[in-house]
Structure 1
């Protein structure tokens, strides 16, 4: 199926990687439905701008941490478009703190958003993908889940969990023509980097052989590749594609 005939759902579509992915996939003619939680004005502006350019884009307010909210979102997409072809679990937050001082709320918020939210959306969509005997699931992880980062026990655990989730689910769904893959970018030029000190960002950049951070558009290109079954073969499943500028994770 050509990308322009697909219906794609993506969580966290208003910033950074999500925004770049929505723009790239809608540019290819897909129906793209994204979620947001707090940035309603930004979501509305984005939909208006893309729709004026002839793109088929819709944004819906969804709390990915709440199962009923996610189920309602999936029902609404199916009611409007009749099918879901690609599921992109992108919503993610950071609440960095050393474990000694990390609150239970900071742990729960990050894990619930980054990992449990992916479970809720994927579980809600899988019955329809199985019925179609086709589909692509793409999980946005991070190199933090591969190597761990100081002060990110919650974030690293959630992103490592996404990789394990990817591998297990790929085995479950492979017999039904559904592929499941993850992408693990390095530090990406997004609002999530706000709050990091200039010295830490400089040190982080120096550690990358390409001497710069990953751009959201670069991650979006990998998402676009994995979503397109005319480019990425069905046989590519259960993998984590590392996008780290040569760091070698």
Structure 2
């Protein structure tokens, strides 16, 4: 027998609980009564599309999942799914390319919600030395590239610290989205580690520092993430820019030398946006 599809109330309840909110807290945020939220969750009231979007906004639900909420409530999706449906997406891609190029000679990549690289600049080549060929077949997954034993992990000197930073973030993404592919990715990444306790983060650190072996030297890179708060389409809402900046002058110098050698190289697309 097949599984019973989740109702709108089921989905809303799961999102509310994932945000650690009671029905009353959600109602106060959305400016509606707790009784109305209760009736919506139990199926006694069918919400309008406007109410679905209002509740989803206050639960910070990703655009793709807002479409699923709308459909479950009997309404049409409100957000475009693919880049090809958006007349202006060519300009979005150009803007992403400009952002990535602006980070050169330092590494940067645009990744989707499942950590697949959709666009990268020439600086990311420093991460690819010695990486197993199968990890470079499209779609290249940034999380797998970093933590797989045959990937970048073999060159990361503070791997336990990097894992302690990335794995909880990936776990939160999987829990918040309910995406089985993210859950599977998290389980895979956990399997590559040891049972040793993770090091406690230094409260003085403002960003993750990655210590990377490269060409007989150590590169020290600060990891940063940029997301797009004004996204109106599902494709762009799912994209983040992972950028890496030098944490010391010597690392900056080495990248600038490498950048001069590779002058003229532009962003590279491993898969299509």
Instruction: Identify whether the pair has TM-score above 0.5, normalized to the shorter chain.
Output: no
